[in-house]
Amino acid sequence: RIGNPDRIVIIGGGISGLSSAFYLQREAERQGKDIEITIIDGSPVFGGKINTLQRGGFVIEKGPDSFLARKLAIIDLAKELGIEEELTTTNPGAKKTYILHDRKLFPMPPGLVLGIPTEIGPFAMTGLLSWGGKLRALLDLVLPVRKEQGDESLGGFLERRVGTQVMRRIAEPLLAGIYAGDLKKLSLQATFPQFAAAERKHGSLIRGMQHNRKASAAAAALPAIAKGGTFLTFKGGLSTLVNALEEALSGAQKRLGVKVTEIRKADAGDGAASGVSKGLADSRYEVVLDSGERLQADRIVMTAPAYDAADLLGPLTDCRELRAINYVSVANVVMAFDKATFGLDFDGSGFVVPRSEGLHITACTWTSNKWLHTSPDDKVLLRCYVGRSGDEESVKLSDEELLKAVRSDIKKTMGITSEPLFTEITRLPRSMPQYPVGHVDNMKRLRSRLEQDLPGIWVTGAAFDGVGLPDCIRQGKEAAQAILAAE
């Protein structure tokens, strides 16, 4: 197609699709390449899982609420978009996180990194574990290193190194915030490869994490804003990023409220034979929308969740690796209260709930204390999370039942009986991808099959190489670079 721009269709306008589009646009400009970008999303607004609601002076996140400051892809993007000044850190007075155990809130012992103890003193003093549980964890310092190569489950690994109590009472509820997962089913390599590396290099997970902690403290390369706290967000909520991206993508065609229903391949220039519309056979693919419209595409960036991607790519190639990624449904209930009648002061950012506690909620964020910008001074904002792998029934409750269940849990755990000023319930069906054991190899195999069978189609996003917002942005950028590098 000499002389014509490359037509790139991006399926999905969540953070992965928008970042891919942004870096495609920017890199193409830099390289003097002529491309035409179209972003399609089935919902009426961009952002995918990101969804900020401004209500009565509150900033309410219905999806993700923040991101890890040390993963720089998002800070770099904010700089490029000129919204770096909008970044904000957690309240320095809300550093403590609690873990529920036997219906009591215990502060997370200092030195815990991703649930792994790196300071033995505070760990030995915590009431979260029995003496047997603590001693079992410390056995990690002398246990032999696993000989077999290859992936294993995150839960299996943690149980092997630091024992079942640390895994179930500390690590799983803490990590549930990221995956809502059953650690026994999640891939170690795809979620926390640094754990496996720690065991290999230092002969012990605890020693390895101690080393990593010192090394990251010594690394002075982080920008000032990233040193202010573990998490960051935007003062106006995460939609600030989505809006800035949308604005920056002024050159792209945007199609909202229309779903892609089919991707057709143009075979050897014979459009009619492959079902591709006549006159469009000079493109590699045709993207069919539920509006009946058909778009020509030389390249496609697929950022839809794995199950949607499998439905679209399945008729063209084997997508078993995409179908192997299970998704967990979750919900969250945001409640606003009047401070004057609330009757409780928070000294931290919230708490997480192990499965064994038998509650509906999996965590509760004391949002107005964790993020000072989210609430007027005389009000309190709480966010409770529901649903995790193997425990998704609560998500299906009616609004009334769900609210009742959540209010009963916050009464049991914090004694809160105040009537909320308002509540916001958000259900996110099949929203949390669970990377299965073998995921990293699965994705390599899938990508090489795509390269062979469907050249010009890239898959990227939360289903592949990290679910966090910075990971999605990094992957979008990598996809953009690979696309422009490929002929």
User: Of 13-21, 336-344, 392-400, 417-425, which part binds ligand FAD (CB under 6 A)?
Assistant: 13-21
10 touching ligand FAD, by CB under 6 A: no
Pick from 41, 159, 182, 321 the residue near ligand FAD by CB under 6 A. Answer: 41
How does DSSP classify residue 91?
A: P
Residue 167 sits in the site that holds ligand FAD (CB under 6 A): no
Q: How far apart are CA 14 and CA 154, in angstroms?
A: 28
Q: Does 459 help bind ligand FAD (rule: CB under 6 A)?
A: no
158 vs 469 by CB, closer to ligand FAD: 469
Which of the ranges 41-49, 101-109, 275-283, 347-355 carries the binding residues for ligand FAD, by CB under 6 A? 41-49
Calculate the alpha carbon distances from 342 to 202, 347, 349, 407, 454 in Å. Answer: 49, 15, 17, 13, 58
Decide: helix, strand or coil at residue 345. Answer: coil
60 interacts with ligand FAD by CB under 6 A: no
Alpha helices in 82-223 (DSSP H): 120-125, 131-138, 154-162, 164-165, 172-179, 188-191, 193-202, 205-218
> Applying CB under 6 A, which of residues 195, 360, 461, 474 lies at the interface with ligand FAD?
461
DSSP state of 99: E
Q: How far apart are CA 106 and CA 25, in angstroms?
A: 49
* The one segment of 63-71, 158-166, 279-287, 479-487 that binds ligand FAD by CB under 6 A: 63-71
End-to-end CA distance of the chain: 12
- What is the C-alpha separation between 418 and 400, in angstroms, rounded? 17
Question: Does 78 interact with ligand FAD (rule: CB under 6 A)?
Answer: no
Smallest gap, in angstroms, from Cβ of residue 321 to ligand FAD? 17
Chain residue whose CB lies nearest ligand FAD: 48
Report the alpha-carbon distance of residue 155 to residue 158 in Å, rounded: 5
Stretch that binds ligand FAD, among 40-48, 51-59, 166-174, 243-251 (CB under 6 A): 40-48
| Contact status: 469 vs ligand FAD (CB under 6 A) | yes
Q: Which of 7, 8, 9, 14 binds ligand FAD (CB under 6 A)?
A: 14
**Of 437, 462, 479, 483, the one binding ligand FAD by CB under 6 A:** 462
CA atoms in the 13 A half-sphere facing the CB of 212: 22
Q: Which is nearer to ligand FAD, 43 or 156 (CB)?
A: 43
Amino acid code (one letter) for 327:
Y
Site for ligand FAD contains 67 (CB under 6 A): yes
Of positions 28, 37, 38, 48, contacts ligand FAD by CB under 6 A: 48
Contact predicate 290/259, CB 8 Å: yes
Task: Determine if 239 is a binding residue for ligand FAD (CB under 6 A).
Answer: no
Amino acid at 104: K
Q: Which of 91, 118, 303, 418 binds ligand FAD (CB under 6 A)?
A: 303
259 binds ligand FAD (CB under 6 A): yes
Token pair, residue 347, equals: 């000294």
Distances (CA, A) of 404 to 119, 132, 333, 359, 382: 40, 37, 11, 12, 15
Under rule CB under 6 A, residue 237 binds ligand FAD: no
Interstrand relation of 326-338 and 379-386 (parallel, antiparallel or unpaired): antiparallel
Segment interacting with ligand FAD, rule: CB under 6 A, options 140-148, 160-168, 274-282, 468-476: 468-476
Q: Which stretch, 79-87, 117-125, 128-136, 459-467, contacts ligand FAD (CB under 6 A)?
A: 459-467
DSSP letters of 336-379? EEEHHHH-----EEEEE--GGG--SEEEEE-HHHH-GGGS-TTE
In whole angstroms, what separates CA 309 from the centre of its chain? 18
Could you say which of 9, 15, 158, 209 contacts ligand FAD (CB under 6 A)?
Answer: 15
Q: How far is the CB of 406 from ligand FAD (least distance, A)?
A: 15
Nearest to 174 by CA among 39, 352, 51: 352
**Cβ–Cβ under 8 Å, residues 109 and 122:** yes
**Pick 413 or 431: Cβ nearer ligand FAD:** 431
Contact between 249 and ligand FAD per CB under 6 A? no
Q: With respect to ligand FAD, which residue has the nearer C-beta, 333 or 410?
A: 333
Q: Which is nearer to ligand FAD, 50 or 162 (CB)?
A: 50
The angle at the Cα of 340, spanning 335 to 343, to the nearest 5 degrees, equals 75
Helix (H, G, I), strand (E, B) or coil at 466: coil
Residue 477 three-state SS: helix
Tell me if 42 contacts ligand FAD by CB under 6 A. Answer: yes
Residue 49 within binding range of ligand FAD, rule CB under 6 A: yes
CB of 65 to ligand FAD, least distance (A): 5
Q: Which residues bind ligand FAD (CB under 6 A)?
A: 11-17, 40-43, 48-50, 63-67, 259-260, 303-305, 308, 330, 428, 431-432, 461-462, 467-469, 472
